[in-house]
Amino acid sequence: MADTLPVDSLSIAAVVAHVDETKGSDDTGNGSVEAPYQSAVKALQAHGNNVSIQVWKVAAADSGETSGYAAISGAALKKAVKKAAELEKKAKKVAEQAAEQAAKDQAAAEERERVLEAAKKVILVEDPSLPTAARIKIRDSVANRGKRVRISGWVHRLRVQGKNMQFVILRDGTGFLQCVLNNELCQTYDSLTLTLESTITVYGVINELPEGKTAPDNHELTVDYWECIGKAPGGEEAMSNKVNENSDPSVKYDLRHLVLREEKAAGILKVRSQVMKAFRDHFDNRGFTEVTPPAMVQTSVEGGSTLFELNYYNEKAYLTQSSQLYLETCLPSLGDVYCLAESFRAEKSHTRRHLSEYTHCEAEMAFINFDDLLAGLEEMVCDVIDRTLAHKPSADIIYKLNPDFKKPERPFLRMDYADAIQYLKDNDIKKEDGTFYEFGEDIPEAPERAMTDKINRPIFLCRFPAEIKSFYMKRCPENRALTESVDVLMPGVGEIVGGSMRISDLEELMAAYVREGLDPEPYYWFTEQRKYGTSEHGGFGLGVERYIAWLLNLHTVRDACLYPRFTGRAFP
Residues that bind ligand 4AD (CB under 6 A): 301-302, 321-322, 324, 345, 347, 354-355, 358, 360, 362, 495-499, 539-543, 545-546, 557
CB of residue 532 to ligand 4AD, shortest distance in Å: 21
Distance CA 252, CA 243 (A): 7
CB of residue 417 to ligand 4AD, shortest distance in Å: 14
Query: Among residues 338 and 423, whose Cβ is nearest to ligand 4AD?
Result: 338
Query: Among residues 31 and 543, whose Cβ is nearest to ligand 4AD?
Result: 543
Q: Looking at the chain, how many residues does it have?
A: 572
3-class SS at 317? strand
The answer to whether 277 touches 565, Cβ cutoff 8 Å, is: no
CB of residue 483 to ligand 4AD, shortest distance in Å: 12
**CA contacts within 13 A on the Cβ side of 209:** 15
Distance CA 375, CA 369 (A): 10
- Cα 96–chain centre separation: 47
The answer to whether 71 touches 5, Cβ cutoff 8 Å, is: yes
Query: Among residues 29 and 293, whose Cβ is nearest to ligand 4AD?
Result: 293
CB of residue 425 to ligand 4AD, shortest distance in Å: 25
Query: Among residues 218 and 567, whose Cβ is nearest to ligand 4AD?
Result: 567
CB of residue 200 to ligand 4AD, shortest distance in Å: 40
Q: Which residues pair with 152 in a beta bridge?
A: 201
Query: Among residues 194 and 549, whose Cβ is nearest to ligand 4AD?
Result: 549
**What are the C-alpha distances in Å from 394 to residues 154, 274, 280, 283, 400?**
22, 7, 16, 20, 10
Q: What phi-psi label fits residue 254: left (phi over 0), alpha (psi between -120 and 50 degrees) or beta? A: alpha
CB of residue 394 to ligand 4AD, shortest distance in Å: 21
Q: Interior CA angle at 271 toward 266 and 273, to 5°?
A: 95
Q: Which of 266, 276, 281, 283 is nearest to 396 (CA)?
A: 266
CB of residue 455 to ligand 4AD, shortest distance in Å: 18
Burial category of 430 from C-beta neighbours within 10 Å (exposed 0-12, middle 13-18, buried 19 and up): middle
CB of residue 406 to ligand 4AD, shortest distance in Å: 21
Q: Which of 476, 266, 492, 499 is nearest to 365 (CA)?
A: 499
Strand order in the sheet with 315-319: 296-297, 315-319, 308-312
CB of residue 352 to ligand 4AD, shortest distance in Å: 10
Angle (deg, nearest 10), helices 370-389 and 544-552: 50
Is the C-alpha dihedral spanning 223, 227, 230, 233 positive or negative? positive
CB of residue 459 to ligand 4AD, shortest distance in Å: 13
Q: Which residues pair with 219 in a beta bridge?
A: 208
Maximum Cα interatomic distance, the chain, rounded to a whole number of Å: 120
CB of residue 382 to ligand 4AD, shortest distance in Å: 17
254 contacts: CB under 8 Å, gap ≥ 6: 572
Q: What phi-psi label fits residue 318: left (phi over 0), alpha (psi between -120 and 50 degrees) or beta? A: beta
Distance CA 485, CA 539 (A): 10
Query: Among residues 31 and 447, whose Cβ is nearest to ligand 4AD?
Result: 447
